[in-house]
A and B are shown apart, each in its own frame.
Chain A
Amino acid sequence: MQKMGKQKNKTASFSFWNWVIASIIFRLILIYFPKNLNLASRPEVSTPLTSFRRLAEGYWLKQLSMSPYAGFSFCFFFFSLCPTFFNFFFILIRQKKEMYLIFLVFGYSGSMYHGSPLLLSLLGPLTVKRIEGQPNHLLYSLVSVIADVVSAILIRATGKNLRLAYLRSLESLDIVQQTKASGEFFKILSPGDAAALIYLWNPFTIVACVGLSTSPIENMAVILCLYGACSRLVPLAAFGWVIATHLSLYPAILIIPVIFLLGCGPDAPPRKLFLQKNNKEEVLSKSKLRLGFSWRPITHFAFWALLWSAYVLVLCGISLKQFGGLWEMFKSTYGFILTVEDLSPNIGVLWYFFAEVFDFFRNFFLIVFHVNILFMIMPLAIRLHHRPCFLAFVYIAIFSMLKSYPSVGDSALYLGLLGWFVNELADIQFSFFLFCGYVGVSLLSPVMHTLWIWRGTGNANFYFATAMVYACLQIILVVEGVSAMLNHDRKLRNLATSKPQDAKS
């Protein structure tokens, strides 16, 4: 029985690696298509923050000893080099009876590159390196592929961790037998494998990887942070958090799930369930779970986070010393994210609104949109503090939807992390509807974009409609996911507390 179990495990892991290798091969095949299938020019894939062309331009500026965040006067030189059409978006849209709607999007271009200077040093040389006979950006694509694979491996490891914790918590609640008997248990899917494979084979991830955006690297940093926090590797978690925040601002709110992970441990049913059990049966010794909230890892985390942030900031300061230093960097990266300067269309909801908001109210609405993310942090933290990984998933879903420049790479992250909770979220409502919705939006969105921009038979509202539907789908996913998780907790509580009655029959 045990041998068969081990063999089963081996075959399971073997097929996992099969799938990983198959996904690498698939990505390589797509990379070898001419011009990366023009995915890098799709607004869903490359945003002003993740665009490959902007990275190349920032690197080119740096090579000329100019600031990578240089402004308009220097932009003339390399429009010939990088024929970007999405930064000179002068769109004239005519409604039949209504007025001209002119979207002067980024026509008077300010700086192009808005990412981290460390990415410039790291990935910059790869943007220009060419190998004879191979596709143009092979090395850069390979970096994205490697980042994806590393993320998948880390997701799998974290998933294993989560599964172990889940099993332990079920054991300590003595409801393993019930859950097995009620037939909802582990013939299943190991959550780690499921999540890793979902992440690797998600069309969004593949498109973000082949489309040469920097999303795979940002996702890798977030996953590294969560892995470190789950495995109690405090320096790793701090490093991942610092890098993720540095690359894109929003993962900063993941500090809350990380604190809960380090303090309490991975996902578990609510603590009071254990206390109830313990009150009833006094099986304190059996429970291997740490019940209290320990502050030591938190202080370690704070120390390491400070250390890594100082390191990163010193490196950035050195690299930008002649170009205005850290303040320039903060203005061009965080300031750009927070002030939503670039209004090129993307699958988010901010660009349309900020294209028509009056200047007088612009700051007010910027605050509203950003607080929209912030005010959801506290209630969710209070409700889901016993499940930090799920809390992290919800936070990631929220900021992937409401960030200034979302892309499909961001959605790829939380869709992959959804796989960790396949067992808990097994009876999520509207799952088929959501799946069809995602497929539909990802097919319709390029069509609407083409209708609007290239054929002129549509207008911005067509494209924004798909963006709104996408946001709605994400909202439904988050809401239903949270309610499914809470239902699962409720079910566990019923199973745990009603055990004596079940034992009778």
Chain B
Amino acid sequence: MATFINSKTIFRLLVLPCLLLYSSIAHNSSSVEATMHTNNWAVLVCTSRFWFNYRHMANTLSLYRTVKRLGIPDERIILMLADDMACNTRNKYPAQVFNNENHRLNLYGDNVEVDYRGYEVTVENFLRVLTGRHETSVPRSKRLLSDEGSHILLYMTGHGGDEFLKFQDSEELQSHDLADAVKQMKEKLRFKELLIMVDTCQAATLFNQLQSPGVLAIGSSMRGENSYSHHLDSDVGVSVVDRFTYYTLAFFERLNIYDNASLSSLFSSYNPSMLMSTAYCRRDLYQRRLEEVPVTNFFGSVMETIHTDAAYKALSRKDSGRFKAQMSLDQSVHHHERRTLINVNDQDEILNTKAEDQQGASTCPFTSFYEKLRKGENVDSLVNYGLVAMLPLLGVSSWLFQ
């Protein structure tokens, strides 16, 4: 036995575990490095057709309006509506969709951009949107062009059941399909954090197979429970909104773009007696605490504005680190406390003058000229002078040195 174990065999035995260890370390280290949250996306899906499912359309359009109001632009919203209620022949109010019987709000204004409509809303297209595996002819507006810094809100509403969601009354999306798609998204680094919100009957069962980290799932009802509609609009003739979405909207209508209400406050606003079902939140895959996450991380798109006095300079690597620190501070800024103006150039100058003081710079004109050069203020004029001076220099030199 001992004769067969020579050094070569030992080497080969050791190489494979070493490689595995190395690859796992490399993978772990790469997954540990933090990516910045850079953009927000929303995928809003309504899966049912026919007139009596008006409320599902109204749900989705209400979320669409909310998400747009809180700042996500149309380029980053994928809106999938399986049927057209606004121009349905049974709609007494043509081109208008309401989510309340007081008809206060028309959800179908002239700035609604529907990306997938009618029969385009299929399970296949939905999964293609999530995973990004489209035909080459699919236009950009129909693609989810997220990257590893994206927070994605995925809202789905329609008819569902135990571990499935019905699409177009003819096919279904199962929980393992959804989990698979999310897993692919995670592999391809298509999101940083994903919030899945589902308003169907037995919605929580749809999340049973999810395994990817960074996913937060909120469902409107548990297994065996139905999600109910809120009220019937006798004028339009159908129920116009679902309870879960109605109370979600009630929460969001109080907010504006600068509020920092957290996800836990959203979730705790769901009252099981009012919903007539138990709202469920699956948070084991989500590392952060819900009290710290503002709802605008998913439902809105808040842009950092930093005022500078000088001309725009491209962000260098060293500046981005500074901005990271600032972003964590911004979580606690209130509405009446606008961000203090941080003049980046001033900071630069302060640092520079400090360095100068340390060096003990003299007041020699050459050093002041050099300082001006370093700051780059009169560069263009200097270059122009140099160019203009070239010609007489040329002439003089040619004349002198014939």
Instruction: Please measure, in the bound complex, the distance between the C-alpha atom of A74 and the C-alpha atom of B314, giving whole angstroms.
Output: 9
Majority SS of interface residues in chain A? helix
Per-residue CB contact flags for chain B residues 373-402 toward chain A (1 = under 8 Å, else 0) read 110100110111011001000100110011
Across the interface, do B387 and A122 meet the contact criterion of CB distance under 8 Å? yes
Contact assessment for A66 and B314 in the assembled complex, using a CB-CB cutoff below 8 Å: yes
Contact A318 B383 (CB under 8 A): yes
Q: Does A65 lie within 8 Å of B401, measured CB to CB? A: no
A311 CA / B389 CA spacing, docked (Å): 11
Task: Tell me if A345 is interfacial: C-beta within 8 Å of chain B.
Answer: no
Contact A121 B397 (CB under 8 A): no
Residue of A121, A228, A239 near B384 (CB, 8 A) is A121
Using A321-B373, A322-B376 as known contacts, say yes or no to A315 and B394 having CB atoms under 8 A apart: no
Do A121 and B373 form a contact, CB below 8 Å, given A66-B314, A235-B398, A239-B394? no
- Which residue of chain A is the closest to B390 with respect to CB atoms? A311
Per the CB 8 Å criterion, the residue count for chain B at the interface is 20
- A300 proximity list for chain B (CB < 8 A): 401
Contact indicator B376/A236 (Cβ below 8 Å): no
Give A117 to B386 CA distance when docked, in angstroms.
Answer: 13
Interface residues of A in 208-249 (CB under 8 A from B): 228, 232-236, 239
Chain B residues positioned under 8 Å from A117 (CB to CB): 383
Given known pairs A65-B311, A304-B397, A322-B376, the reply for A118 and B387 (CB within 8 Å) is yes
B140 within 8 A of A: no
A110–chain B nearest beta-carbon distance, Å: 15
The answer, yes or no, to whether B313 is at the interface (CB within 8 Å) is yes
State A132–B314 Cα separation when bound (angstroms).
35
Q: Which of A66, A121, A232 contacts B380 (CB 8 A)?
A: A121
Residue of A nearest to B397 (CB): A235
The reply to whether the CB of B312 lies closer than 8 angstroms to some CB of chain A is yes
B residues near A64, Cβ cutoff 8 Å:
311-312
B379 to chain A, nearest CB (A): 6
Chain A window 171-209, contacts with chain B (Cβ cutoff 8 Å), 1 for yes, 0 for no: 000000000000000000000000000000000000000
Are the C-beta atoms of A118 and B383 separated by less than 8 Å? yes
CA distance A321 to B383 in the complex (A): 11
**In the assembly, what is the distance between CA of A118 and CA of B379, in Å?**
12
A residues in contact (CB < 8 Å) with B: 64-66, 70, 74, 117-118, 121-122, 228, 232-236, 239, 300, 304, 311, 314-315, 318-319, 321-322
6 cross-chain pairs, A with B, having the tightest CB-CB distances, nearest first: A235-B397, A319-B383, A65-B311, A315-B386, A236-B398, A233-B398
Residue ranges of B at the interface with A (Cβ–Cβ < 8 Å):
311-314, 373-374, 376, 379-380, 382-384, 386-387, 390, 394, 397-398, 401-402
A selection of 30 A-B contacts at a CB cut-off of 8 Å is A64-B312, A65-B312, A66-B313, A117-B383, A118-B383, A118-B387, A121-B383, A121-B384, A121-B387, A232-B402, A233-B401, A233-B402, A235-B398, A236-B394, A239-B390, A300-B401, A304-B397, A311-B386, A311-B390, A315-B383, A315-B386, A315-B387, A318-B373, A318-B382, A318-B383, A319-B379, A321-B373, A321-B374, A321-B376, A322-B376
Q: 9 other contacts beyond A64-B311, A118-B387, A236-B394, with CB at 8 A cut-off?
A: A65-B312, A65-B313, A234-B401, A235-B397, A304-B401, A315-B386, A318-B382, A319-B380, A322-B376
